[in-house]
Amino acid sequence: MPAVSPRSRLLAVCALPVTALFAVAAFAPLPFSIAQPGMTADVLGSNKGKPVITISGAETRKTAGQLRMTTIAATGPDAQIGLGDVVDGWFDTDREVLPREAVYPVGESTQQIEKHNVQEMRKSQGSATDAALHRLHRSPDDVKVTLRLADVGGPSAGLLFSLGIIDKLDGDGRGGDLTGGRTVAGTGTITEDGTVGAVGGVPLKTQAARRDGATVFLVPKAECSDAKSGLPKGLRLIPVTTLDGALDSLKALNTGGRVPSC
């Protein structure tokens, strides 16, 4: 039997803790969430039997086409994510591995996180309404807007809410629809002054949008590079930074004008 050199013996001894480490990692829960394309909802239509946008105090118009807000579906904050799940997620184009704090940035319990997401949605709805009415020079004292979207939390539908309110009240300003009869999807937060912000999970949201028939996707400009990663065939990206910019792009799309691209 050949003699074992001191170096070989050292390597063999060092390999033991490394092997043990991989064995532990394979079964230990890791601080990640696995996300996939979620549901989309037409803000011009209904969700679970109720209109997403209800307006009183002003005449509304009948709309054509769709404005679809998009979501991701992620494993819950209490889910046990192992090394195998993470590796599978890295190689699956329909799923994405995200740091848990990127999906659930606050709270420790499921109840705390759900409460925060509901608060963020309500805040987003208020900002979306204010931005839309300000753009149309309408007073919130006269025009009442109610937004309903079941089982969705967070602020990422803000831009689409604003566009939906404007389409129902004013369309493209010339008697036509903002959508031009298309199915337009998108994502982005919005502030009262109409600034559009980044949201995360954009590659998964573009997949959800195309799955549900969208041909155009409005994306926060800062996330253009992410959106182009694995972009579904047949989906056109339009970068936006403001509500006014989104409106101008949709109008240009309908009239054959210049439309920005990522």
- pLDDT value at position 23? 43
pLDDT of 68:
98
Let me know: does 104 contact 35? Beta carbons within 8 Å.
no
The H-assigned helical ranges of 58-191 are 83-91, 100-103, 110-135, 158-169
> How confident is the model at residue 21, as a pLDDT?
36
Exposure on the CB side of residue 187, measured as CA atoms within 13 A: 26
**Residue 120, pLDDT score:** 86
**How far from 138 is each of 132, 133, 145, CA to CA, in Å?**
9, 5, 12
Chain centroid, CA 84 distance in Å: 26
In degrees and rounded to multiples of 5, residue 199 shows phi and psi of -135, -30
Rounded Cα distance between 208 and 35, Å, is 12
Tens place of pLDDT per residue across the chain (262 aa)? 455 555 555 444 445 444 443 444 444 566 777 888 999 999 999 999 999 999 999 999 999 999 999 999 887 777 777 676 666 666 666 777 777 777 776 666 778 877 878 888 899 999 999 999 999 999 999 999 999 998 788 888 999 999 999 999 999 999 999 999 999 999 999 999 999 999 989 999 999 999 999 999 999 999 999 999 889 999 999 999 999 999 999 999 999 999 999 9
Cα 123 to Cα 143: distance, rounded to the nearest angstrom? 18
pLDDT, residue 121, reads: 87
The C-alpha atoms of residue 233 and residue 124 are separated, in whole angstroms, by 31
